[in-house]
A and B are shown apart, each in its own frame.
Chain A
Amino acid sequence: MDLKELVTNKLMEKFPEVVFDFSDYRDQLAVTLNKKFIVEVSSFIRDDQDLQFKLCEDVTAIDWARRKNRFTVVYHIMSLKLNSRIRLKADVDESDCSIDSVSSIWKTADWHERETYDMYGINFNNHPDLRRMYMPEEFEYFPLRKEFPLMGIPGSLPLPKKDN
């Protein structure tokens, strides 16, 4: 049984109420789902004996700029048993710019989610330590959003304060 069939059957069987959208563009399996179910689905695909997607490789987001659901949060997860990769995608709207954190399922998602927060301003609920990853703490903007100019914003990076 190929990967798409296996994952499709498993997910449909386990979550009959969730609407999944499967695609395998360039032979890479991608599953789009509602952001409400991201934690449940993640923990299922990690713990299921036939799937075992245990290695979370990457969490990031895409800014679509003009679309209704402005952001898509993207997860890449590898299964060491099947030697294949799955991509989970969940849309996040700008008005409710948050999604549940998966750092309790894959510990490595901690820093990836911090980075995504830093770059896109998406809040991860229940994240243990959500602060900026690369930019300074007092930085006010989210650099990878499309409206942030390439040259940066003059004066947005303050010089270090003097102590006395």
Chain B
Amino acid sequence: MDKIKREEVPTKILQSLINQETDISVDDTLENEMILNMGPQHPATHGVLRLLLRLDGETVIACVPELGYLHRGYEKMAENMTYYEFIPHTDRLDYLSPLANNVAWVLAVEKLAGIEAPPRAQYIRMMVSEMARIASHLVAIGALAMDVGALTVFLWTLREREKILDIWDILCGARFTNSYTRIGGVANDAQPEVLAKVKWFIEQYEENLDECERLINTNRIFVERMDGVGVISGEDAIQIGFTGPNLRGSGVEFDLRRATPYMFYNDMDFKIPVYKEGDCLARYFVRADETRESVKIIRQILDKMPQGETILNNPKRVLPKKTEIYSKMEELIHDFMIVNFGINPPVGEAYTAVENPKGELGFYLVSQGEGHPWKCKIRSPSMVNLQALPQLVKGHMISDVVAIIGSLDPVMGEADK
């Protein structure tokens, strides 16, 4: 009957799991070692993450994550397309906050090309990145609560997120994959209607978040499943390369908006939420607090937003407006050149990183003076954060693995590129 034969030579991933040092042994009635394959199609792995778990009874003694099930080769594709053409692809990296990725990409290209967008465009970019942060954290909080069994919170946070998506719909014509930013500015100005909607959103947001938090913050099941689970110290977190909310949940006050200010974050008054515990609960609290700070930032942006152009006037680097292309010869030529041959930044290299909802998203671009990048490296926070998973889950139950993944908040579109 037994037709399935075990392969004599274990595959490399299995070998890697077996090689891991383990000093955990558990006295349990179920004591027997086994290897469990979790994912890639598992609802709690937030996409297509595959984990190989070595179990002793119900306790995880070793874990090897396997990535690459969503690998689309964006770095290779970027080398074969112009800088403009890659903007829609950045939507598909961290698909919960597409606008923040758009902003990161254009900032990287602008740094490489040595241009800077006008102030109003920068303010709009800041506004949409903060909205993206709220939208992303809402999914993170909701999905985390759902992973540990509180379904209602997910529905409530998604209801809030839906309002943001509706605003994006008016702002750039798409709810989800926005592709809103352009090199040297943004695609179109934020109309007063949009700004009024944003104002309305931030007015009612905190009250609604409080409502969501009341559901879980005092819920004993939720707190006990998160408290003291997946602890990582600040020093270890830096070693493993944590950035973003995960790092701040371990007591390290590091935020790129403060450390290396870009756009106009210098003029903004906001706090960086930091929790010392380094467990799942702390990471959840950091996310919830960060959305409140984002609301504060958006409020200041709306107050300070200057009038003026939303796209730079630099015909060699920036696509001219459609109305000008149809009426002026010069603009038509530039449009043709940029669309066909690209913007040709000077020979050189630049690394630009921004604080994304998941952590530090960086683009390392190398230009040979051609229309497409010679090299494009995406430093994706989700991938680096996932690297800590083996040391976080060690010694915990299988059910805690789900909570830990949820608290790290990985998005596989970004981790796999």
- Interface of A toward B, CB cutoff 8 Å: 25-26, 28, 30, 54-58, 60, 62-63, 74, 76, 80, 83-85, 87, 106-108, 110-112, 119, 129, 131-137, 143-144, 148, 150, 163-164
Contact = CB atoms under 8 A, between A and B. Distances in A.
B37 to A, nearest CB: 14
Nearest to B114: A26
A85 B256 CA distance: 11
Interface string B69-109: 00101011101100000000000000000000000000000
A154 B364 CA distance: 30
B314 interface: no
B52 to A, nearest CB: 13
B349 interface: yes
Interface residues of B, number: 47
Contacts, number: 104
Contacts of B416: 134
A126 to B, nearest CB: 15
20 contacts: A57-B362, A58-B362, A58-B364, A58-B379, A62-B374, A62-B375, A74-B377, A80-B238, A80-B259, A87-B351, A108-B241, A111-B387, A133-B68, A134-B416, A135-B71, A136-B68, A143-B76, A144-B79, A148-B76, A164-B3
Contacts of B307: none
Contacts of B11: 137
Interface in B348-386: 348-351, 353, 360, 362, 364, 366, 374-375, 377, 379, 383-384
A131 B15 CA distance: 11
B226 interface: no
A28 B12 contact: no
B364 A74 contact: yes
Say whether chain B's binding surface is mostly helix, strand, loop, or mixed: mixed
Nearest to A161: B7
Contacts of B379: 57-58, 76
Contacts of B111: 26
A144 B364 CA distance: 15
A83 B4 contact: no
B68 A25 contact: no
A56 B238 CA distance: 8
Interface of B: 3-5, 11-13, 16, 19, 67-68, 71, 73, 75-77, 79-80, 111-112, 114, 238-241, 243, 252, 254, 259-260, 348-351, 353, 360, 362, 364, 366, 374-375, 377, 379, 383-384, 387, 416-417
A98 to B, nearest CB: 19
Contact of A143 (B13, B73, B353, B366): B73
A76 B364 contact: yes
For the complex of A and B, list the 6 residue pairs with the smallest distance between their C-beta atoms, beginning with the closest: A108-B241, A134-B68, A134-B71, A60-B377, A83-B259, A164-B3
Contacts of A87: 351
Given A133-B67, A144-B75, A164-B3, A25 B364 contact: no
In this complex, the member of B19, B238, B350, B383 whose beta carbon has the largest number of chain A beta carbons within 10 angstroms is: B238
Given A58-B364, A107-B240, A137 B349 contact: no
Nearest to A58: B379
A164 B6 CA distance: 10
Given A26-B350, A132-B68, A135-B68, 7 more contacts: A26-B112, A55-B238, A58-B351, A106-B241, A107-B239, A143-B73, A163-B4
Nearest to A54: B238
A108 B11 CA distance: 24
A150 B74 CA distance: 11
A110 B68 contact: no
Given A57-B241, A135-B68, A163-B5, A108 B76 contact: no
